[in-house]
Amino acid sequence: MAQVMIDIAGTELTAEDKQLLAHPDVNGLILFTRNFVSIEQVESLVAAARAASETPLLVAVDHEGGRVQRFRDGFSAIPAMARIAELPHDEQLAAAQDLGWLMAREVRAVGIDISFAPVLDINGCSEVIGDRAFASDVQQVAHIAQAFIEGMHEAGMGATGKHFPGHGSVAADSHFAVPVDSRSKEAIFNTDLPVFDMLADRLAGMMPAHVIYEQVDPQPAGFSHYWLQTILREQLGFNGLIFSDDLSMQGATVVGDMRQRALAALQAGCDMVLVCNDRDAAFELLQQPLPDTSARSRQRLQAMLGAANYERMDELQRSNRWQEVQRWLERISG
């Protein structure tokens, strides 16, 4: 069994979707805004996807807050993470923990296991990161992110840090280009890596960047044995699940076709590869056997499954904690 995460196009499963979800190598599903109409609909969609899968299915979403919040109607409007650092200093950590709890608890309330959060990049020149990052100062990012992660843990969700080892200091957007970070190894290790180092033991997952750090390794980080094994696993001691970023992104094309990308990511050390927004490529990838993942890798996946038993949204919204956080959100948005 390999570990592949796919997407779907609509708000209900098609016969083709069910065929893919039943493939033994498919044990992940990521949802997007196009898959959402209402709380009840997405809850039913998740249940149908689990029923179609032949293996325990990890269901994920990018629901960071701000610009990157896939579900809106019926969900709290989570502010961009940079907003936390604008609060009075003595309010920041409590706010971060509350927002981590709120985001994770609402995502879990429709049966989804994880949100790919938080962003641990240092806010630099990257517009695609920008206010998705907590701050531009390493210590501030680490402290606020730690509190946000604690909130996610309180809600029963493992956190996934991204985009290792740091996407904030390269202007190009890896969705549409092949970003190259020309800084020295010393600059990267002094500026970007410390946050991942400080938080590695608090993260259940990690997502590397489709960025080439040309002074360190010629491959994008997600295809680099050096970044994923030597630095992330050995130096930082990270023991969680490594997700590739979407292999359909332009930043991944330097490695070859979809099969070459998937094999390169798995060989470099990714536990699960994401193939999104390209159904033909997903089908093509799954036509031939992929390398089996290790028992340890399967254990990492199992550890991230968490939404089998969950408090539904109507129950959550009646809780004192949820109502308190809503009052706080109203105050900062006013």
Contacts of 37 (CB under 8 A, 6+ apart): 11, 73
Q: Under CATH, what is the fold of the domain 4-333?
A: TIM Barrel (3.20.20)
**Residue 334: per-residue pLDDT:** 61
DSSP letters for 227-242: IIIIIIIIIS---SEE
> What is the rounded CA–CA span in Å between residue 285 and residue 287?
6
> Is there a binding annotation on residue 18?
no
Per-residue pLDDT of the chain (334 residues; tens, 9 = 90+): 789 999 999 999 999 999 999 999 999 999 999 999 999 999 999 999 999 999 999 999 999 999 999 999 999 999 999 999 999 999 999 999 999 999 999 999 999 999 999 999 998 888 889 999 999 999 999 999 999 999 999 999 999 999 999 999 888 777 877 889 999 999 999 999 999 999 999 999 999 999 999 999 999 999 999 999 999 999 999 999 999 999 998 888 899 999 999 999 999 999 999 999 999 999 999 999 999 999 999 999 999 998 667 889 999 999 999 999 999 999 887 6
> Is there a binding annotation on residue 62?
yes
**Residue 171: per-residue pLDDT:** 81
**Residue 165: per-residue pLDDT:** 97
> Is there a binding annotation on residue 162?
yes
Whether 192 is catalytic is: no
**Residue 179: per-residue pLDDT:** 87
> Is there a binding annotation on residue 132?
yes
**Residue 265: per-residue pLDDT:** 96
pLDDT in tens, 17-50: 999 999 999 999 999 999 999 999 999 999 999 9
> Is there a binding annotation on residue 23?
no
Of 241, 202, 197, the C-alpha closest to 60 is 241
Q: Active site residue: 7, 98, 113, 245, which one?
A: 245
**Residue 127: per-residue pLDDT:** 82
Structure tokens at 71: 């579900």
CA 275, 281, 287, 290 torsion-angle sign: negative
pLDDT in tens, 119-158: 999 988 888 899 999 999 999 999 999 999 999 999 999 9
DSSP letters for 248-259: TSGGGGGG-SHH
**Residue 308: per-residue pLDDT:** 67
Whether 210 is catalytic is: no
Q: Are 269 and 217 in contact (CB under 8 A)?
A: no
- Each domain of the chain, given as residue ranges in start order, spans 4-333
Q: Active site residue: 175, 217, 225, 278, which one?
A: 175
